[in-house]
C-alpha cells in the first residue's frame, strides 16, 4: 500500500514513562548521537599532545566520556589528559557536520605546552563530525524489522534542512513513500524511541487514509447504515 506524501513538524515533548509499543517495536532510545560520534573520533585520532604512550589509558577504548551538561554545552572527560580539569565544548560545534573535533581538542591540549605551530600542523587529523543525529535516526529505523512493508538496509534516509533559525530533520521511508519531520531539539531528547515514535505517526497516517477512503465511498450514499 502506498501512502500519500505527508509531513508533520513536531514540537518537543517528553516521552511517557510507560507507553504501549506499536507492532512490537524494539525498545531502544536514541541516546546522545553527537557525544557518541565525538568520542569515536577522539579515540581514533589519539594520541594527543602531552599523552604518555606508556599508559594504558592513552589508547584505551574507554579513554573518553562525553556528556551533556546543559542545553548548549557538553563536557569532555579524558582519562589520559595532562590537564587537571575537563574541557567544555559548545553544542553548536558538535552540530556542525564540518567540525574537526580532534583538531580542536588537540589544540586545547597543546596550548599550555607551548607546542610549535609546525608540530600542530603535522598532528592535524581531518575527521569531520558529519551528521551524527541523521545517521543515528536512519540506523535505528533501518534495523527495525517490525514496521509495515519490506525491511532493507537503506529503506530510510534522514537529512537535515535549515528553516530560518532552526534545523529540521526530514525522515523518508522509501518503501511506503511517506515522510515525517522533527526539529533537532526534539531529537536531542536522549530517551526518545525513534522507531516507536515513527510507528505511531505511521499508524495515524493509516487511520487518516482509511478515513479518507471510507468518506469517498460514502460520498454518494444516502443510506449509510445499509453498508453495515
Angle at 113 between CA 89 and CA 52, to 5 degrees: 85
Confidence of residue 205 (pLDDT cuts 50, 70, 90): confident
| pTM of the model as a whole | 0.80
Distance CA 37, CA 139 (A): 14
Distance CA 193, CA 27 (A): 7
State pLDDT tens for residues 9-25.
Answer: 443 344 444 344 556 67
Distance CA 79, CA 55 (A): 10
Q: Look at residue 66 in the predicted model and tell me its pLDDT.
A: 98
Domain boundaries, the chain: 9-31+131-222, 33-123
State pLDDT tens for residues 35-58.
Answer: 999 999 999 999 999 999 999 999
Amino acid at each position: 500500500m502506498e501512502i500519500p506524501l505527508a509531513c508533520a513538524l513536531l514540537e518537543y515533548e517528553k516521552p511517557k514513562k510507560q507507553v504501549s509499543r506499536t507492532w512490537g517495536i524494539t525498545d531502544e532510545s536514541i541516546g546522545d548521537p553527537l557525544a557518541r560520534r565525538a568520542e569515536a573520533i577522539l579515540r581514533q585520532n589519539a594520541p594527543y599532545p602531552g599523552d604518555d604512550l606508556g599508559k594504558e589509558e592513552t589508547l584505551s577504548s574507554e579513554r573518553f566520556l562525553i556528556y551533556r551538561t546543559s542545553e548548549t554545552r557538553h563536557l569532555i572527560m579524558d582519562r589520559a589528559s595532562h590537564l587537571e580539569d575537563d574541557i567544555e565544548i559548545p553544542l553548536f560545534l558538535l552540530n556542525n557536520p564540518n567540525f574537526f573535533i580532534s583538531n580542536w581538542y588537540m589544540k586545547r591540549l597543546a596550548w599550555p605546552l607551548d607546542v610549535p605551530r609546525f608540530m600542530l600542523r603535522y598532528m592535524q587529523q581531518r575527521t569531520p563530525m558529519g551528521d551524527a543525529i541523521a545517521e543515528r535516526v536512519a540506523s535505528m529505523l533501518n534495523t527495525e524489522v517490525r514496521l509495515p512493508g519490506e525491511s532493507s538496509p537503506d529503506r530510510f534516509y534522514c537529512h537535515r534542512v535549515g528553516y530560518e533559525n532552526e534545523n529540521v530533520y526530514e525522515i523518508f521511508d522509501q518503501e511506503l513513500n511517506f515522510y515525517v519531520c522533527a526539529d533537532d531539539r526534539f531529537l536531542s531528547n536522549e530517551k526518545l524511541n525513534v522507531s516507536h515514535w515513527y510507528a505511531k505517526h505511521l499508524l495515524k497516517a493509516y487511520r487518516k487514509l482509511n478515513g479518507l477512503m471510507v468518506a469517498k465511498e460514502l460520498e454518494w450514499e444516502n443510506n449509510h447504515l445499509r453498508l453495515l
